[in-house]
A and B are shown apart, each in its own frame.
Chain A
Amino acid sequence: MAWSIGRRVIHLVLVILIVTFATMMLVDRVPGGLAHAILGDTATQEQIDTLNHKLKLDKSYAARYTGWLGDVATGDFGTSPRTNRPVLDTIRARLPVTIELVVLTELLAFMLAIPIGMYTAHREGKRLDRLWSLISSALIAVPSFVLALVLVYFFAVRWHVFPVNRFRPISKGLFDNLRSVALPVVTLAVAEVAVYSRVLRADAVTTMRQDYMLAARSRGLSPARLMFRHALRPSSLSLVTLGALSVGRLIGGTVVVETIFGLPGLGSLMIDSVLNSDLVVVQGIVLFVALVYVGLNLILDVTYGSLDPRVRSATA
């Protein structure tokens, strides 16, 4: 067990090194050079040289990479030459909104997907099951930015139920805050509900064929008790894995909804930085998200055995 986790850690550290190395390589491919991209066409050669020196671009590639890694290891993600703010501070300022979005989306998705998944498994092959299968594949197919605009059109423009482009922090009141993130959360949750409910349904259908489920049914338990007390837990392993790994996809998704709904989170920071050629920040965000994602994977690998004893004996 310790050996396999150790190997996993080495593997993931290598992954992080490759990701950072690749983003470093991209910096060198910026058309006209990074300093030129930041300062614009009016910059003099002297200004470019000073900035190159400040960003250590005049050093060799290896020296720059090891230097940057050293900085990152001590918690210094660099400083944006545009805003003169440390990148990590900027990320930290924007992070709460993105975390709120991801957490609320996961909550909503699980709250809807568990009953739907269990119900469709219970009614396997019946009309409602087939209908949901059709609806869920349609929901998965709708691009998130299209869905967001449809929701904005009906709920904000036509019916004025929710505000657009006006984010309220929690400090301004919980209700207003929730109202301002409602549409973005629904946008993100729709595809997740579709995927989660299908995954749960598939596993629950397998569970229901087990002997102990037959035994429980023959004891005359009600369908609800049967599904939620007996079938849910053994069917939830894929769902839990998927839920944890979706965090990465959701962070990608926040790029779209934060831009559309004007939320000050990590995703809109990413787009703003790209449009302003603030590439030091882009680099910082990529590293930060990769670290979070890889960390999540590691936690998942380690806790897998405690979630399901069957896995523990299988991999040992």
Chain B
Amino acid sequence: MALSNDLLLDEPPRANDIGTAVSNLAAPDRRRVKRHAPVLVWVAAAWLVLLVLCAIFADFLPIKGYARPAGPLRQAPGWHSVSLLGTDAIGRSQLSRVIYGARQSLTIAVGAVSIGLALGGLLGLLGGYFRGRVDALIALFTDSVLAVPPLLMIVAVTAFLERTMLTITMALALLAVPTYVRVARAHTLTLARREFVEAARALGASRRRIIFKELLPNVALPLISYVFLITASVIVAEGTLSFLGLGLPPPRPTWGAMIKDGRNYLSKSPAIIAVPAAALTVTVMALNIVGDHARLRYEFGRAR
């Protein structure tokens, strides 16, 4: 399987090589433990928790509405500003729009990653267990998804379908599937040769029982350790889509659309773009830091 427009850039793709894929997944890069000092991981996790809480309880926060002007146009951020983060081109509160934007991004990302995890995990499990024809068929499906560059694919999907929460989530879920298939398949291939699976088979366990009771619980953990990293790429993809004007239609704010709307004021009031751009970048970085850490924790837990 050489096609690799994969979401995770970390591991270099190698043609037709299951062995290296497995060893890549299995061999942790010890240097990376030191790289993210735990402090950084804590800061990143705190930002994510704050963001999630704000997104969930946005309706109860003391912020202005996101749809209507709340103060003067293009106010700079600061203590004197109506919303701390200033206002946008038509005077709407940037703070409120960033928080409601987080709600959109997170909802879509959680939906897309869950669907991708479930579907990709299942396909990878089946491919790794049955191998042969089933595996070839699944490889055909994932290679077809990967044959079109991710961004081009979601743009094409949103071109043809109505732009709703559902279609965008599904399109992004499709992006997450191949990565999960690869991870689940690689782990299943090694696990299926282990003694406990042999033992279950010798005891007369059905195939369904072996797959769902023996293999699934063991494959679930590595799959989950990738959740943060994949969420990060899904959020970037969603932001890009909104930035190109192909995301959710207004008035609901998204970070990408806020950046797009601020483009005309780049020279006069760069803060309009800087606020959502910073929110997006910091969130993606935080997800990457926590994600790297989660993967390392998993790898080391297993190595011991």
Contact = CB atoms under 8 A, between A and B. Distances in A.
B245 interface: yes
Given A142-B281, A252-B149, A241 B240 contact: no
Interface string A255-277: 11001000000000011011101
B67 interface: no
Nearest to B142: A15
Contact of B12 (A130, A238, A275, A304): A238
B158 A146 contact: no
A293 B284 contact: no
Given A138-B285, A141-B284, A259-B244, A282 B156 contact: yes
B151 A252 contact: yes
Interface stretch (B53-61, B218-226, B263-271): B263-271
B155 A274 contact: yes
A228 interface: no
A274 B13 CA distance: 31
Given A23-B156, A134-B35, A301-B15, A245 B151 contact: no
B112 to A, nearest CB: 16
A256 B236 CA distance: 12
Interface residues of B, number: 60
Contacts, number: 171
A249 B5 contact: yes
Interface in B1-48: 2-5, 9-10, 12-16, 29, 31-32, 34-35
Contacts of A242: 12-13
A137 B242 CA distance: 24
A279 B239 CA distance: 23
B277 A271 contact: no
Contact of B159 (A199, A282, A301): A282
B277 A146 contact: yes
A195 B280 CA distance: 21
A53 B195 CA distance: 63
Contacts of A195: 9
Chain A, interface size category, equals 35 or more
Interface string A124-167: 11000010011001101111111001101100010000000000
A29 interface: yes
Looking at B9, B10, B288, the one whose CB has the most chain A CB atoms below 10 A away is B9
A191 B233 CA distance: 13
Given A23-B156, A31-B162, A286-B156, A140 B16 contact: no
Interface of A is mostly: helix
Contacts of B144: 15, 18-19, 22
Interface in B140-181: 140-141, 143-144, 147-153, 155-162
B281 A304 contact: no
23 contacts: A12-B143, A15-B147, A18-B140, A137-B292, A142-B281, A143-B280, A145-B240, A195-B9, A241-B2, A245-B3, A248-B149, A249-B149, A252-B5, A252-B151, A255-B151, A256-B240, A256-B244, A271-B244, A274-B156, A279-B160, A286-B156, A289-B149, A293-B147
Interface of A: 11-12, 14-16, 18-19, 22-23, 26-27, 29-31, 124-125, 130, 133-134, 137-138, 140-146, 149-150, 152-153, 157, 191, 195, 198-199, 202, 238-239, 241-242, 245, 248-249, 251-253, 255-256, 259, 270-271, 273-275, 277, 279, 282, 285-286, 289-290, 293-294, 297, 300-301, 304, 315
